[in-house]
């Protein structure tokens, strides 16, 4: 029975890993290698986490049968400048939609001269919103300090908004406190004031430092871990970040699973008052004015723990297909996101490449008759 050499398997698997989807990794591309990726992700949620000071920790339904959906088409590229240094760029086209039932929050005064229908048409609150546009640009550079036996790399990443309107309270950035809202409810609770937080992003710049580490084995198994700090400008709360991913290659298919955590270490600035519901399951026709309103002073802060997995399938030489799923299992001030994605990754070389370590190892073993 013929056995493939151990080193040949290690080098082959490492080469396969570094050409995985365009995302953070301790394995950098060799000089002159270019990887292009197109990824579509559909996100949906019917629940949200509050969890700020004094708020319920468990996930709760969006009020008024709300549903949040988002479609992201992200185009990105990675380029190897040196064997140890690479650059990455990506930009998403986003469609964000929030749908919910209409509601009347201010009862018709007895002195009103309007008919019930006219009053309804002038005062009905529509929280449903749609936004379409370009989301946050992402620029990153990674330097690999050590390729083997433990791959180590440092990444500096920048997230840059593209001019869209950032999040605010349900009725805008004013007032900034629940007390001020209650003092003049009739002024703020107006259909033309509704903005809510349906947005293409947080509308501020992030600068992130990440340290990556990973190992690949001849069995086709890999482990990858990362820790980092996200400096969030514009009054947003800074975050510590961590992630873990592992996978197994079975024949030509790679199965993987993992988790990621973003945890805020600051409170973040207040962006407005969000009008939620004391009982989110209450139907719109039973609201009875403002008695079911839960006022929240929302801050530019969010925490999330995501888990997920997927598989990567080689299609033809230089082209791979990535199928993925993830879910937010814990968070604060964030939706309970379920996301499914499909991506296509294509790679090419811009300069003639020398034989890879795996090819050199194979040639050496074959030259000595050790096939």
Reported as a pLDDT band with limits 50, 70 and 90, residue 274 is confident
Read out DSSP for 124-147? -B---EEEEEE--EEEEEEEEEE-
Q: Is 207 exposed, middle or buried (0-12, 13-18, 19+ CB in 10 A)?
A: middle
Separation between Cα atoms, residue 369 and residue 262, nearest integer Å? 52
In the β-sheet with 47-49, what is the strand arrangement from edge to edge? 60-61, 47-49, 334-335
Reported as a pLDDT band with limits 50, 70 and 90, residue 194 is low
**pLDDT over 90 at 161, yes or no:** yes
| 65-116 pLDDT tens trace | 999 999 999 999 999 999 999 999 999 999 999 998 877 766 666 666 666 6
Write down all domains in the chain, each with its CATH number in brackets. Answer: 6-316+332-367 (2.40.128)
Reported as a pLDDT band with limits 50, 70 and 90, residue 1 is very low
| 321-365 pLDDT tens trace | 999 999 999 999 899 999 999 999 999 988 876 665 555 555 554
| 14-28 pLDDT tens trace | 444 444 444 578 999
Residue pair 311/255 in contact by the 8 Å Cβ criterion:
yes
Lowest-confidence pick of 18-32, 46-60, 250-264, 341-355: 18-32
pLDDT attached to residue 218: 86
Lowest-confidence pick of 23-27, 179-183, 208-212, 294-298: 179-183
> What are the φ/ψ torsions at residue 218 (nearest 5 degrees)?
-65, -20
- Please give the structure tokens belonging to residue 200: 């293409």
């Amino acid at each position: 029975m013929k056995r493939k050499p151990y080193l040949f398997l290690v080098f082959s698997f490492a080469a396969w890993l570094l050409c995985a989807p365009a995302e953070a990794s301790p394995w950098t591309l060799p000089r002159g290698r270019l990887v292009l990726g197109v990824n579509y992700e559909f996100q949906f949620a019917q629940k949200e986490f509050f969890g700020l000071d004094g708020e319920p920790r468990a996930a709760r339904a969006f009020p008024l049968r709300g549903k949040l959906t988002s479609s992201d088409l992200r185009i990105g590229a990675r380029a190897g400048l040196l064997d140890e240094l690479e650059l990455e760029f990506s930009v998403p086209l986003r469609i964000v939609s929030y749908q919910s039932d209409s509601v009347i929050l201010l009862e018709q005064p007895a002195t009103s001269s309007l008919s019930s229908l006219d009053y309804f048409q002038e005062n009905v609150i529509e929280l449903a919103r749609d936004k379409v546009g370009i989301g946050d640009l992402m620029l990153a550079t990674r330097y690999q300090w050590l390729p083997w036996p433990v791959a180590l790399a440092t990444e500096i990443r920048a997230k840059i908004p593209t001019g869209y309107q950032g999040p605010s309270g349900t009725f805008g950035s004013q007032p900034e406190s629940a007390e001020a809202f209650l003092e003049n409810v009739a002024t703020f609770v107006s259909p033309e004031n509704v903005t809510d937080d349906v947005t293409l992003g947080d509308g501020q710049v992030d600068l992130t430092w990440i340290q990556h580490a990973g190992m690949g084995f001849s069995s086709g198994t890999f482990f990858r871990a990362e820790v980092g700090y996200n400096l969030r400008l514009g009054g947003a709360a800074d975050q510590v970040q961590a992630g873990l991913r592992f996978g197994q290659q079975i024949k030509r298919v790679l199965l993987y699973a993992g988790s990621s955590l973003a945890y805020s270490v600051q409170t973040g600035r207040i962006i407005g008052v969000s009008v939620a519901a004391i009982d989110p399951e209450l139907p719109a026709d039973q609201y009875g004015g403002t008695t079911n309103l839960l006022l929240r002073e929302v801050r530019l802060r969010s925490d999330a723990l995501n888990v997920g997995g997927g598989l990567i399938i080689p299609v033809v030489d230089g082209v791979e297909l990535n199928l993925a799923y993830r879910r937010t299992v814990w968070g604060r001030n964030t939706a309970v996101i379920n996301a499914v994605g499909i991506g296509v990754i294509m790679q090419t070389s811009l300069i003639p490449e020398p034989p890879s370590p795996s090819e050199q190892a194979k040639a050496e073993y074959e030259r000595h008759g050790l096939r």
